[in-house]
Amino acid sequence: MQSVDVDGKNANIKIEKYIQILYPRLSYSILQKAFRRRDIKVNGTRVGRDYTVMPGDKLEIYIVDDLLSGPDVKGAKMAPGFSVVYEDENILIVNKAQGVPVHPDKEQTHGTLIDSVREYLMQKGGTPSSSANFQPALCHRLDRNTGGLVIIAKNPASHAIMLQKLESREIKKYYQCLVKGRMERQEATLKAYLWKDADKSRVFVSERRTAGSLEIVTGYREIRYDPSTDISRLEVELITGRTHQIRAHLAFTGHPVIGDGKYGTNTINRYYGIKQQALWAYRIKFVFSEKSPLDYLNGKEIKVEPEF
């Protein structure tokens, strides 16, 4: 627990922002958990994240000291798990490393992509926003073990626009992957139905609609096929964005993603010696049909090289 007396220097701001200034290495998710558990007091009273600190306030922060100070990097630069590919006053596009969750989950509550992005923006001098309570937010997700491009909104207006554009498919998302074997056609659009078993943390694909299932549409084209290894490199367009869609859909066709431990084949993965799934979100294209304050992005294409 830390006790802090508020001086006039950083007073008159939300307590959430004040604590982030005091402890820049504190994980955002841990701070939010402390607010949910009512572990932050001001003048002896438990407060929420919207409380405005005033000069003379006495803060009691019931968070373990090691978590407040963040990872012990001993002078080394902390690996954020991403690199910045594009940035303007409204959005940030990053290239996420494999193995990094985009947000807190049951396996990892801090050190996530959104934690690292928020820390990066704080270190740059704050996050421009039309709302004092808004934190940079993910516009879409990637699986923990999928690397590649992720769009983050810096303010509420751009977040709402990005979500609408993604919903209307005015933002095209493309992946590259390595799959076992050669596809039956060099280019095609696959359609099927997917349903999710939350208890097993996996999805299932079938040709016919079943109770609770959703239609999935996955486009692909063959980039090249290597007969010596019997592996194809594909470009995949995620037309509908369902949980684990690419991995499950390709496995359903008999061409699992190499290195995929959930929907792939372990004997194949061991044979090729690939321990991480060969799947990368490598290209985003903005094709806006309706005008918006983000019209300057229309026609822009962001691209990175897959890291496999």
Q: Which range is most confident: 16-25, 31-40, 128-137, 147-156? A: 147-156
The mean pLDDT of the chain is: 88
Q: Residue 204 and residue 263: Cα distance in Å, rounded?
A: 9
Give the span between the Cα atoms of 87 and 191, in whole angstroms: 35
- Same-domain pairing of 31 and 90: no
Residue 78 has pLDDT above 50, yes or no: no
Confidence of residue 74 (pLDDT cuts 50, 70, 90): very low
For residues 284 and 173, the answer to whether their CB atoms sit within 8 Å is yes
In a domain, 43, yes or no: yes
Buried b (16+ CB within 10 A) or exposed e, 254-289: ebbbbbbebbbeeebbeeeebebbbbbbbbbbbebe
pLDDT on residue 107: 64
The structure tokens 């396996």 sit at 107
- Confidence at residue 67, expressed as pLDDT on a 0 to 100 scale: 77
C-alpha distance across the termini of the chain, in Å: 44
Output the pLDDT for position 130.
Answer: 43
Q: What is the pLDDT of residue 12?
A: 84
Give me the sheet containing 40-42, strands edge to edge.
2-5, 58-61, 40-42, 45-46
Listed range (32-41, 151-160, 236-245) with the worst mean pLDDT: 32-41
108-122, 150-164, 254-268, 276-290: which range is least confident on average?
A: 108-122
The mean-pLDDT minimum among 29-43, 45-59, 135-149, 167-181 falls in: 29-43
pLDDT on residue 236: 98
Confidence category of residue 166, pLDDT binned at 50, 70, 90: very high
User: Is residue 108 exposed (0-12), middle (13-18) or buried (19+ Cβ within 10 Å)?
Assistant: middle
pLDDT at 165 over 90: yes
Specify the pLDDT at position 198.
85
Residues 239 and 276 in one domain: yes
pLDDT band at 293 (very low <50, low <70, confident <90, very high): very high
Same domain, 149 and 62: no
Report if residue 96 sits inside a domain. yes
Domain end: 170, 189, 208, which one?
A: 170
> Is residue 75 one of the residues assigned to a domain?
no
The yes-or-no verdict on residue 242 having pLDDT over 70 is yes
- 164 and 182: one domain? no
**Which domain range does residue 227 map to?**
174-282
Tell me which of 80 and 40 has the higher pLDDT: 40
**pTM for this prediction:** 0.73
Same domain? 65 vs 96 = no
Whether residue 277 sits in one domain with residue 228: yes
Residues 187, 266 share a domain: yes
CA nearest 177: which of 104, 283, 96, 30?
Answer: 283
Q: Say what the pLDDT of residue 256 is.
A: 96
What is the predicted pLDDT for the residue at 274?
82
Do 131 and 227 have their domain in common?
no
Query: Are 220 and 254 part of one and the same domain?
Result: yes
| pLDDT above 70 for 255 | yes
In a domain, 295, yes or no: no
Instruction: Give strand pairing partners of 7.
Output: none
**How far apart are the C-alpha atoms of 255 and 124, rounded to whole Å?**
44
Residue 30 lies in a domain: yes
| 279 or 49, greater pLDDT | 279
Count of structural domains within the chain: 3
Give backbone dihedrals phi and psi of 297, rounded to 5 degrees, phi first.
Answer: -85, -15
Whether residue 207 sits in one domain with residue 128 = no
Q: Please identify, among 126, 152, 170, the residue that sits at the C-terminal boundary of a domain.
A: 170
Confidence (pLDDT) at 110: 66
Whether 96 and 55 share a structural domain: no
Torsion over CA: 253, 256, 260, 261 (sign): positive
Number of Cβ within a 10 Å radius of residue 127: 18
Query: What is the reported pLDDT for 72?
Result: 46
Whether 57 is covered by a domain: the verdict is yes
pLDDT of residue 298: 95
Q: Is the pLDDT of residue 76 over 50?
A: no
Q: Is residue 93 part of a domain?
A: yes
Tens of pLDDT, residue by residue over 17-72, are 888 788 877 776 678 778 888 999 999 999 998 899 999 999 999 988 777 876 54
Q: The domain that contains 157 carries what CATH number?
A: 3.30.2350.10
Q: What percentage of the chain has pLDDT greater than the value 90?
A: 63
User: Which residue, among 120, 165, 102, has the nearest Cα to 300 in the 3D structure?
Assistant: 165
Residue among 136, 29, 94, 115 at smallest CA distance from 284: 94
CATH of the domain at 55: 3.10.290.10
Question: Could you say which of 37, 69, 101 is where a domain stops?
Answer: 69
Same domain, 264 and 179: yes
In a domain, residue 227? The reply is yes
